[in-house]
A and B are shown apart, each in its own frame.
Chain A
Amino acid sequence: KNQVEQSPQSLIILEGKNCTLQCNYTVSPFSNLRWYKQDTGRGPVSLTIMTFSENTKSNGRYTATLDADTKQSSLHITASQLSDSASYICVVLTDSWGKLQFGAGTQVVVTP
């Protein structure tokens, strides 16, 4: 069964600190893995996209890693800001028609 599992479910971090979110997937076929940021009541916004041959990709303070052998990915947020408070969702693109398989997300709360 195609699944995308994320951990932790939620976390609270102090402004300025770093954090790392985890994603495990058992999706086949695999085309690429994406991390999205979703603010409450809004649509997901893409942070990074990685194919199976890419190990790491950065977008500002966000750095994603991918291990296609173990089917694991992580998203590292550096020097968190209050505006980073959101749900971070790991998503796998599964087929040629572009169907996305979503994880449940990690709810990140950054406090002053």
Chain B
Amino acid sequence: SQTIHQWPATLVQPVGSPLSLECTVEGTSNPNLYWYRQAAGRGLQLLFYSVGIGQISSEVPQNLSASRPQDRQFILSSKKLLLSDSGFYLCAWSQPTRGGETQYFGPGTRLLVL
């Protein structure tokens, strides 16, 4: 069966510090991978998605970046965090899709920037 892991579960970082969040998927190959952010009490906002190694699409301009160094690994990074980067970060995967595929979400990382 497929599983998705995210770490760390929670993170408190000072403004201006770097960020690296990792997501890995097991039990499937060539998945689509997604990074979302959820602000407190809000819906999910898609940040990045990837259909293959080294292929990253960005949906929202920001100081974040994403990389996919391996088929089932997706990393979210920042060189300098802002206060507005605080939120709940969720990674998800799906089968390659043109629509109608289920996305499976990880447990999330709660980031607080102080």
Q: Do A and B bind each other?
A: no
B residues near A (Cβ < 8 Å) are none
